[in-house]
Homo-oligomer: A and B are copies of this chain.
Amino acid sequence: MIRIGIVGGTGYTGVELLRLLAQHPEADVRAITSRKDAGTPVAQMFPSLRGRYDLAFTDPRDADLAGCNVVFFATPHGVAMAQARELVGAGVRVIDLAADFRLQDPQAFERWYKMPHACPDLLREAVYGIPEINREAIRKARIVGNPGCYPTAVQLGFLPLLEAGLVDAKHLIADCKSGVSGAGRKAELNLLFAEAADNFAAYGVRGHRHHPEIAQGLAAVSKTPLALVFTPHLTPAIRGIFATLYAPIVKPDLDLQALYTKRYAGEPFVDVMPAGALPDTRSVRASNMLRIAVHRPSGSDLAVVLVVEDNLVKGAAGQAIQNMNLMFGLPESTGLEALPVLP
């Protein structure tokens, strides 16, 4: 059994880790911390966990995190980097679901997250946690920077095209739509039901923190310089990301369907749908699957790639567990095989 600690368990990625780990045969959740709610049983805050978790939230200072094999940080940005050195020094592996170990450049981190990076040396060794790109490095990593929800969908969507050098990487567009849980469990006016329901809005058009993360990942595989326009929108759904990606094809006879099918053959959590298919977010709801369909509108030189994922699973907690499985030598799908919930 893997002894597991979770730092900051009162948000949506925290409770989603708990939900998924309850079904994981090798998971032994030993501690879950919350400064503010120390003492509260997790099943009191989240009645969906009643009968399955006896744990209460503990103050971070009282939790024996050093006695864990792995610690997940489901915290605001800045917490994981403050504690990582001590944990890693104690032989604990760290998976950060926030942004502390995503951007390789400490200056970029500081620019976007408005705080200096606390441990640039650890940042250098941290591995960016998309298994479909960095599988081998993740197995050995001491620290994994678990990707953002948008970056997972957008990178896996563009990846085959950029690796193959078949598109004009200077003119990429990612028009993305996210369910409201993507913004976290925060009491903010614009996330209220009465504000977000029966509504559709763009946000972050002038700059979103996931932009540099996506660009970094795509540039790493692109054979040519890259520029991306990223437009996030809020759609009135609880879960789900839908990414509509546009890329100008530079090789007219490109067989998109074959390219994607081959690239993701054997991947347990990337499903390339048949030609002509139109994915929807509910086809991955509450599961770790990401589905892709590729299209090429008639009379156009654009590849149109449609990607769906559950932002809290493949876009956060599920991918974190997929990374944990790799780090501990377990079959990659362990505990992640539940089918999507439909309807």
Chain A residues within 8 Å of B, Cβ to Cβ: 12, 15, 19, 22-23, 46-52, 171, 173, 175, 177, 179-181, 185-189, 191-203, 205-207, 227, 229-231, 233, 235-240, 242, 244, 246, 248, 271, 273, 276-287, 289, 291, 295, 297-300, 302, 304, 306, 308, 312, 337-343
Copies of this protein chain in the complex: 4
- A192-B192, A231-B244 as given contacts; A237 in contact with B199, CB under 8 Å: yes
Tell me the interface secondary structure of chain A in the complex: loop
Minimal Cβ-Cβ distance residue in B for A192 = B191
Q: How far is the CB of A8 from chain B (nearest CB, A)?
A: 16
Cβ contact within 8 Å between A12 and B46: no
Query: Known contacts A198-B285, A231-B244; is A187 also within 8 Å of B188 by CB?
Result: yes
Q: Are B233 and A173 in contact (CB under 8 A)?
A: no
| 6 interchain residue pairs of minimum CB distance | A201-B280, A48-B340, A193-B196, A180-B193, A181-B194, A48-B342
Task: Please measure, in the bound complex, the distance between the C-alpha atom of A177 and the C-alpha atom of B202, giving whole angstroms.
Answer: 11
Give CA–CA (A277, B44) in the complex, Å.
Answer: 10
Q: Chain B's nearest CB lies how many Å from the CB of A194?
A: 4
Least distance between A26 CB and chain B CB atoms (Å): 16
Say which residue of B48, B173, B207 sits within 8 Å of A282 (CB atoms).
Answer: B48
Q: Which residues of B contact A15 (CB under 8 A)?
A: 342-343
Q: Which listed residue (B52, B199, B237, B273) contacts A240, Cβ 8 A? A: B199
Partner of A12, one of B49, B238, B343: B343
Could you say which of B19, B202, B229 contacts A341, with CB atoms under 8 Å apart?
B19
Question: Contacts A188-B187, A199-B237, A240-B199 given: A343-B271 contact, CB under 8 Å?
Answer: no
- The distance in angstroms between the C-alpha atoms of A229 and B187, with both chains bound, is 31
Name the one of B185, B198, B308 contacting A198, with C-beta atoms under 8 angstroms. B198
Please tell me if the beta carbons of A235 and B177 are within 8 angstroms of each other in the complex: yes
Q: Choose from B197, B231, B271 the contact partner of A197 (Cβ within 8 Å).
A: B197
The CA-CA distance from A244 to B173 in the complex, in Å, is: 11
Q: Shortest CB–CB separation between residue A179 and chain B, in angstroms?
A: 8
A-B contact pairs, 19 of them (CB 8 A): A15-B342, A50-B283, A51-B289, A173-B302, A175-B175, A177-B235, A180-B194, A185-B189, A185-B192, A186-B192, A197-B198, A200-B237, A201-B278, A202-B242, A206-B297, A230-B297, A231-B244, A246-B246, A341-B341
